[in-house]
Amino acid sequence: EVMPTLDMALFDWTDYEDLKLAA
C-alpha cells in the first residue's frame, strides 16, 4: 500500500509558527 505524502497545507501552524519557519 502506497501512502500519500504529507500535505503541508493540512497542518495547523497556529501554535507552531517557529516549526513552520523551519519547515
Partner 1 sequence: PDPCHDEGGAPRSCVPGLVNAALGREVRASSTCGRPASRTCDASDPRRAHPAALLTSAGAAPGPLCWRSEALTQSPLNVTLTVPLGKAFELVFVSVRFCSAPPAAVALLKSQDHGRSWAPLGFFSARCGHDFGRPPAPAHGPPGPGPEALCFPAPQALPGGGGLLAFSVQDGSPPGLDLDSSPVLQDWVTATDIQVVLTRPATTGDTWDSTATGTYSYSAAELQVGGRCKCNGHAARCRPDPQGHLLCDCQHGTEGPDCSRCKPFYCDRPWQRATAREAHACLACSCNGHARRCRFNMELFRLSGRRSGGVCLNCRHNTAGRHCHYCREGFYRDPGRPLSDRRACRACDCHPVGAAGKTCNQTTGQCPCKDGVAGLTCDRCAPGFQQSRSPVAPCVKTP
* Interatomic CA distance for residues 8 and 13, integer angstroms: 10
* Interatomic CA distance for residues 3 and 19, integer angstroms: 24
* Interatomic CA distance for residues 23 and 13, integer angstroms: 11
Q: How far is the CB of 4 from partner 1 (least distance, A)?
A: 6
Q: How far is the CB of 14 from partner 1 (least distance, A)?
A: 9
- Footprint of partner 1 on 1-20 (CB under 8 A): 1, 3-8, 10-13, 16, 19-20
> Rule CB under 8 A: which residues touch partner 1?
1, 3-8, 10-13, 16, 19-20, 22-23
